[in-house]
Amino acid sequence: MSKSLMPWLEPLVVQIATPYATGTGFVLSASGLIVTNEHVVRDNARVVIEGLAFERQQTDVIYLDEKLDLAFLKLPQPSRELVSLHWANEMPDAGDAVLACGHPFGYKFSITRGIISSVEYELGALSYFQHDAALNPGNSGGPLLSMDGHLLGINTFMVDGGQNIGIALPFTEIKKVSEAYTEIMPARVVRCGSCNQMLEETTPRNLYCLHCGAKVKYISDAPAYEAFGISKKIEEVLIQLGYDVAICRRGINNWEISQGSAKVNIVYHEPSGFLIADATLCYLPNENMTRIYTYLMKQNYHNKGMTFALKDNNIVISSLIYDQHMHFESCKKTINKLIRAADKYDNILIEQFGAMAIS
């Protein structure tokens, strides 16, 4: 892979989050769209995106195609100039090297390399590319690229039980649909699963397809998400602390809070009953390790309810709450304390102890 791809490619790939899952999308600058999988944004009229060129924000779902597992999002104004992702000039051959891009497990942008195993993976009436570039949950909706950075397809799913068997919808399908949609954008559109006709949302909406009579589910029919139980209590705490929970949600029972230079991840693990809040502050320095270890152990002694720990080369701060002891005020106090501490200690460790910032 040419390193020259990285500076322009990463800003084109965004992370997508809903109350139910996380996934990946990519920008088609020339079309003014973000492309992803339908299953990534299913049952959501708005989703959260974030990337190098986009601060975390909500944007509208504007096209859904359940048959192709394809969706388009409204493209917000980027914070930097974006290049255009070009379509491949021709279909790949078996054995061609490819790149799969995305945000696996909701983590940072990553690229994996593989080869095309088959260009005729048949599923129903559709033909997909099969490749062996490593994919993980969260990669869905990410682009599959040739080695020169041209768009070959969209990574749609992995074969359960397979060893690095990824499936991608070919670029020819994406190109055909995106070109048809841009003729009627910015209307909200769904594709009828029966006759394949594009149907615009109207007011009042037609409940049935005007072309074939099949029942239609429109984008704005998606029910508003409502948290319940412990998740509802956590969201009430975050609202009290002044955070927009719609922006914070990152899948089921998972929230991410940005405060200054720190990011705090909050996860409620329902089977065990534990609420875990943690933040990766920085990387260990390359020298003077004894000094920083001593400082962290002293902070563990003095800071009740919070713990510094090492995960590989990362310095992490965390708090733990058991749901049976989760009272609103104590939960609010613990989460707020950790958020403020994360924003404080990452600076201290970097500026005073030579720890390395997380880019």
CA 82 to chain CA centroid, nearest Å: 19
Per-residue confidence (pLDDT) for residue 309, from 0 to 100 = 97
Inform me whether the pLDDT recorded for 3 exceeds 70.
no
Per-residue confidence (pLDDT) for residue 258, from 0 to 100 = 92
Q: Provide the token pair at 343.
A: 């924003």
Chain segment 299-335, per-residue pLDDT in tens: 999 998 999 999 999 999 999 999 988 899 999 999 9
* Encoded amino acid at 174, one letter: I
Q: How far is CA 62 from CA 153, 175, 212, 233, in A?
A: 20, 16, 22, 32
Cα distance between residue 310 and residue 319, in whole Å: 14
Which domains does the chain show, CATH number per domain?
Answer: 1-221 (2.40.10.120), 229-353 (3.30.1460.10)
Residue 248 neighbours by CB distance under 10 Å: 21
Averaged over 274-284, what is the pLDDT? Answer: 96
Per-residue confidence (pLDDT) for residue 104, from 0 to 100 = 86
Chain segment 350-359, per-residue pLDDT in tens: 999 999 998 7
The number of residues making up the chain comes to 359
Q: How far is CA 100 from CA 9, 113, 133, 147, in A?
A: 12, 6, 6, 10
Per cent of the chain over pLDDT 90 is 82
Q: Provide the token pair at 340.
A: 């403020």
The pLDDT-based confidence of 164 (bands split at 50, 70, 90) is confident
Yes or no: say if 294 and 279 are a contact pair by the CB < 8 Å rule.
Answer: no
The pLDDT-based confidence of 199 (bands split at 50, 70, 90) is very high
**Residue for token pair 């399908």:** 173
More confident: 131 or 165: 131
Averaged over 28-52, what is the pLDDT? Answer: 96
Per-residue confidence (pLDDT) for residue 22, from 0 to 100 = 94
Residue 65 neighbours by CB distance under 10 Å: 21
Cα distance between residue 122 and residue 3, in whole Å: 34
Q: What is the dihedral of CA 211, 216, 219, 224, to 10 degrees?
A: 160
Chain segment 203-234, per-residue pLDDT in tens: 788 889 989 999 999 999 999 999 999 999 99
Strands 54-65 and 189-191: parallel
Residue 160 neighbours by CB distance under 10 Å: 6
Inform me whether the pLDDT recorded for 1 exceeds 70.
no
* Encoded amino acid at 49, one letter: I
296-301, long-range: CB < 8 A, 24+ apart: 299/345
Q: Which of 248, 307, 244 is nearest to 278 (CA)?
A: 307
What's the mean pLDDT when you consider all of the chain?
Answer: 93
Inform me whether the pLDDT recorded for 52 exceeds 80.
yes
Per-residue confidence (pLDDT) for residue 159, from 0 to 100 = 65
Per-residue confidence (pLDDT) for residue 359, from 0 to 100 = 74
What DSSP character marks residue 202?
A: -
The pLDDT-based confidence of 162 (bands split at 50, 70, 90) is low
Question: With helix as H, strand as E and coil as C, how does 231-262 read?
Answer: HHHHHHHHHHCCCCHHHHECCCCEEEEEECCE
Inform me whether the pLDDT recorded for 125 exceeds 60.
yes
Yes or no: say if 152 and 170 are a contact pair by the CB < 8 Å rule.
Answer: yes
Cα distance between residue 79 and residue 141, in whole Å: 22
Per-residue confidence (pLDDT) for residue 157, from 0 to 100 = 82
